[in-house]
Amino acid sequence: MHQLMGTLRVFLGVAAFYALLGFATPMLVDRWSGGDPDKAGRAYAVNVVGCILGPLLAGFLLLPFFNERWVLFVFFLAMADCGVESGVVDRKTREEN
């Protein structure tokens, strides 16, 4: 019973996280594109390329040469940079309007 509860907790935690990501990605693409289908298509194309290249880069280039903590730190820095850049771009867009 204890193992089932642990499995259920992990499943609910992971499911909630991925449900949030599944909601956030289209919302961010729509917000960024401003209703322009060409911009939205480019954003989804970049997302697909990242989904393909990210695991390949991590699995075949980074993990064989560095330990997993450094690899996670590198990916964290990339994600943090994207967040900062999107905030800067959003602020500039708001100031222009």
Specify whether 53 is located in the same domain as 83: no
| Share of the chain residues as helix, strand and coil, in percent rounded to the nearest 5 | 90, 0, 10
List pLDDT tens digits, range 40-54: 999 999 989 988 998
Task: For residue 73, give the 3-state DSSP assignment.
Answer: helix
Verify that 6 and 44 share a domain, yes or no. yes
Entry pTM: 0.57
Report pLDDT digits (tens) over 35-92.
899 999 999 999 899 889 988 988 888 888 888 888 888 888 988 888 787 776 666 6
Distance of CA 4 to the CA centre of its chain: 30
Structural domain containing residue 15:
1-65
Query: Do 39 and 32 meet the contact criterion of CB atoms below 8 Å apart?
Result: yes
Q: How many folded domains does the chain comprise?
A: 2
